[in-house]
Amino acid sequence: MAVQLDFRFPTPPAPGETLEVAEGVLWLRLPLPFRLDHVNVYLIEDGAGFALLDTGIDDETTRQIWDGLIAGALKGRPLTRILSSHCHPDHIGLAGWLCDRLGLELHATQTEYLDALNIRLDAGALNSEPYRSFYLNHGLDEARIEILLNRGLHYLRMVSHLPRTFNRMMAEETLEIGGRTFEVLTGGGHSAEQAMLYCREGGFILCADQAMAKISPNISVEAIDPNGDPLGAYLRSLRQLKQELPPETLALPGHNLPFVGLGVRIDELIAHHQARCEAILKALQVGPSSALDLVPVVFGRSIDDPHQMSFAFGETLAHVNYLARRKELAIRAGKDGAWTISQPV
């Protein structure tokens, strides 16, 4: 995998240090206390200072890194505004803290801003009906359901408050940063309206978590949108990126290394999801299944860690819903409310 990608910058900068990866764009890597142990954020030259795309999570380590950068490592050049690619904690975690502290404005897409706000307004809301039954009826046990239902509270521990206003970034609009034009692209799948910034004249795209060199972003059905088709949205976004961007475009992603070869990587990601769909259809030839029982089919192994399981379950359901929309399988409720997934009739 990924052998055809061209890694121009194989060594990431140390935490708190920056590396210029395109003219006027500095790559900064922030630590994360998870199995995925880092997030990439980018400083984009903006007049005398830098616009910042994404912030890291809100924890003591990341705050200290920002303290150090603001106090000196940016060589007196101020941050001018905060851009947020999407509402996940590793990307928006310190946006409010930085905005307030430095008197800056936030730029985000409307859905990402409102999704972040929604969790903040009622973090415990997911921990109720009909969300609990949704997971129960798809075969999950209580322990795993608790993790899924408490994600709102967990989220708030990693995200500072939000500014009360934001500047809306929208697909097909542009953003002027440091005298250059950045085209706003948005894509669903990993989150509902993730923003990517394409600098045509600079030959690079800040593509956040939509396309990364090694990992495949989590594409999950959420209980709030139980019949949603995030995988369909994701595949549409990948095809759009491949179609619209020249093959030599430098991809500056939210995790892993920057790379050239977006088209190659997009083909791999599409094939990866197609293989998962085929594995589900093959398993259903043997007999009907619950979504839970399809998790090892999709991942090729059993998943014991309950946190991993919550992601894996959402991702499995994304493939199930995708296939159901296309009438390649059927989801039926039994008398006890439990859902059964089977071949279409």
Q: Which is nearer to Zn ion, 45 or 90 (CB)?
A: 90
Centre a 10 Å sphere on the Cβ of residue 213 and count the other Cβ atoms it contains.
19
Q: At closest approach, how far in Å is the CB of 39 from Zn ion?
A: 6
Stretch binding Zn ion (CB under 5 A), from 14-22, 148-156, 248-256, 268-276: 248-256
Q: At closest approach, how far in Å is the CB of 254 from Zn ion?
A: 5
Stretch binding Zn ion (CB under 5 A), from 26-34, 230-238, 246-254, 334-342: 246-254
Q: Which is nearer to Zn ion, 91 or 132 (CB)?
A: 91
Tell me how many residues contact Zn ion (CB under 5 A): 3
Q: Which of 93, 228, 254, 261 binds Zn ion (CB under 5 A)?
A: 254
Q: At closest approach, how far in Å is the CB of 209 from Zn ion?
A: 4
| Binding residues for Zn ion restricted to 56-95, rule: CB under 5 A | 90
Task: Please name the residue that has the structure tokens 């894509």.
Answer: 187
Q: At closest approach, how far in Å is the CB of 188 from Zn ion?
A: 15
Q: Using N-to-C axis directions, what is the helix angle for 151-158 and 110-121, rounded to 10°?
A: 110
Q: At closest approach, how far in Å is the CB of 101 from Zn ion?
A: 23
In degrees and rounded to multiples of 5, residue 199 shows phi and psi of: -105, 100
Q: Which is nearer to Zn ion, 55 or 80 (CB)?
A: 55
Q: At closest approach, how far in Å is the CB of 139 from Zn ion?
A: 28
Q: At closest approach, how far in Å is the CB of 273 from Zn ion?
A: 18
Q: Which is nearer to Zn ion, 90 or 115 (CB)?
A: 90
Query: What contacts 201, CB < 8 A, 6 or more positions away?
Result: 180, 181
Residue 258 to residue 42: CA distance in whole angstroms = 11
**Per-residue contact flags (x/-) with Zn ion for residues 197 to 236, judged by CB under 5 A:** ------------x---------------------------
Alpha carbon 119 to chain centroid, angstroms: 16
Beta bridge partners of 107: 83, 167
SS3 141: coil
Q: Which is nearer to Zn ion, 89 or 139 (CB)?
A: 89
Alpha carbon 292 to chain centroid, angstroms: 23
Q: At closest approach, how far in Å is the CB of 30 from Zn ion?
A: 11
If phi over 0 gives left and psi between -120 and 50 gives alpha, with beta otherwise, what is residue 321? alpha
Query: What contacts 294, CB < 8 A, 6 or more positions away?
Result: 280, 283, 316, 319, 320, 341
Which tokens hold the place of 333? 């409720």
Which tokens hold the place of 207? 């593509």
Question: Under the criterion CB under 5 A, does residue 187 sit at the interface with Zn ion?
Answer: no
Strand 194-199 relative to strand 180-187: parallel, antiparallel, unpaired? antiparallel
Strand 204-208 relative to strand 250-253: parallel, antiparallel, unpaired? parallel
Residue 33 to residue 83: CA distance in whole angstroms = 23
Q: Which is nearer to Zn ion, 39 or 329 (CB)?
A: 39
Q: Which is nearer to Zn ion, 43 or 297 (CB)?
A: 43
Q: Which is nearer to Zn ion, 46 or 209 (CB)?
A: 209
Q: How many residues does the chain have?
A: 345
| Binding residues for Zn ion restricted to 89-118, rule: CB under 5 A | 90
Are the beta carbons of 67 and 15 closer than 8 angstroms?
no
Stretch binding Zn ion (CB under 5 A), from 7-15, 74-82, 167-175, 252-260: 252-260
Q: Which is nearer to Zn ion, 39 or 295 (CB)?
A: 39
Stretch binding Zn ion (CB under 5 A), from 11-19, 253-261, 263-271, 318-326: 253-261
Residue 147 to residue 153: CA distance in whole angstroms = 10
Using CB under 5 A, list all residues that contact Zn ion. 90, 209, 254
